[in-house]
Amino acid sequence: MSSKQATGKKGIIDCDVHVYPKSREELNKYLPQPWRDWYRPLTRAYGNIQGNRADAKPPGGGGAGTDPDFLREQLIDEYGIDYAILLPRAMLNNLPNPDMASAVAAAYNDWLADTWLDKYNHDGVFKGSLYIATQDPAGAAREIERWAGHPHFVQVMTDSGATAPFGQRQYYPIYEACEKYGFPLAIHPGTDGMGINHQPTPGHPTRYIEFHTCLSLAFQAHLVSFLTEGVFVKFPKFKIALVEGGVSWLAPLMWRLDAEYKGLRYEVPWLEKRPSEFLRDHVRMTSQPIERPDDDKYLFAMLEAMDAEHILMFASDYPHWDFDSPRRAFPKLPDELHRRIFFENAKEFYNL
């Protein structure tokens, strides 16, 4: 019997699991004054939208993603997850005060380290994401340095909402710190068009279905910016993970960018190869929400076109309403492709 069979593990790394403080009071323990009194999260109102699975609320009370025992039962044990990459949802990039944003990021990191990565983590299954505020690049770099060497933080994370595309030079202190301390940067949807941030569509959408369908637009803009600004040339060991932004757009976007590069490479002389050739060394994407066509032959064609064997990592997006079960997210995949998507790509990317 293999070790995975003996422990109930299935060879799955879930790259997008959301956890939250049990209450504002729990977070306040780590948030100094005056920010404890001043900080109020900004939200986007689209009516009565259920953000989480109806069955994800713990039976003992509290919100979804706040009870480690129930999360273990409903996700880790149910599906045999080897590692869960935790992404808290602080939603900070929209705050106009950079000092407040960095203070809240630090509080979330202290909270996550003390609870999910320590008290609740006897077997090391939980791996954390280090929150930063991109409107304070110098502060973000210091926060990354503060946690360097922690055994369970495996990446830095930020929201996709921004005042400028992420390839631009004002963000370089963040990437320099990530490269120095060996952290990839995860970008997750959030705060687009809120507070100080720009909306990636021509204007604000009126309904949640419109907003949710267009989540990938900010990701596309950020990725093109990373590539054309030469971030991966300036920081050759720096890597990014595009989390919960869809995947089907990657191949046609790279086809277009490579075509533009043929005629406009004089604008980007630092790129000595096609933009798409940077992906395998620097970019990973998570599967949820996977665009599943009616005919799975198109899904397989998409996976091949985007080099999913080397770029795609499985994610469930637990406990959100559009959770992807490891058993149902994909049709039956070839064994090697299944192993790469569900386990090996994330194992290599996060050095697990």
Q: Using one digit for the tens of pLDDT, what is the confidence trace for 81-129?
A: 999 999 999 989 999 999 999 999 999 999 999 999 999 999 999 999 9
Per-residue pLDDT tens digits for 198-208: 999 999 999 99
State the pLDDT confidence band at 336, using cuts at 50, 70 and 90.
Answer: very high
d(CA 257, CA 271): 12
Output Rg (C-alpha) for the chain, integer angstroms: 20
> Contact 299/292 with Cβ under 8 angstroms?
yes
pLDDT at 5 over 70: no
**Structural domain tally of the chain?**
1
User: What DSSP string describes 183-240?
Assistant: --EEEES--TTSTTPPPSSSS--SSHHHHHHTTHHHHHHHHHHHHHTTHHHHSTT--E
DSSP for residue 165: -
Residue 241 belongs to what domain range?
A: 3-349
d(CA 133, CA 157): 9
Buried-exposed string 68-97: b where 16+ CB fall within 10 A, e elsewhere = bebbbebbbeebebbbbbbbbbbbbbbbeb
State the pLDDT confidence band at 46, using cuts at 50, 70 and 90.
Answer: confident
Buried-exposed string 143-161: b where 16+ CB fall within 10 A, e elsewhere = bbeebeeeebbbbbbbbbb
pLDDT at 50 over 80: no
Read off the CATH number of the domain in which 271 is found.
3.20.20.140
* pTM, full prediction: 0.96
Range in 8-12, 134-138, 318-322 the model is least confident about? 8-12
d(CA 264, CA 257): 10
Neighbours of 248 (CB within 10 A): 18
State the pLDDT confidence band at 2, using cuts at 50, 70 and 90.
Answer: very low
Q: Which residues pair with 129 in a beta bridge?
A: 155
Q: Which residues pair with 283 in a beta bridge?
A: 240
Q: Roughly what angle, to the nearest 10 degrees, separates helices 137-147 and 98-114?
A: 20
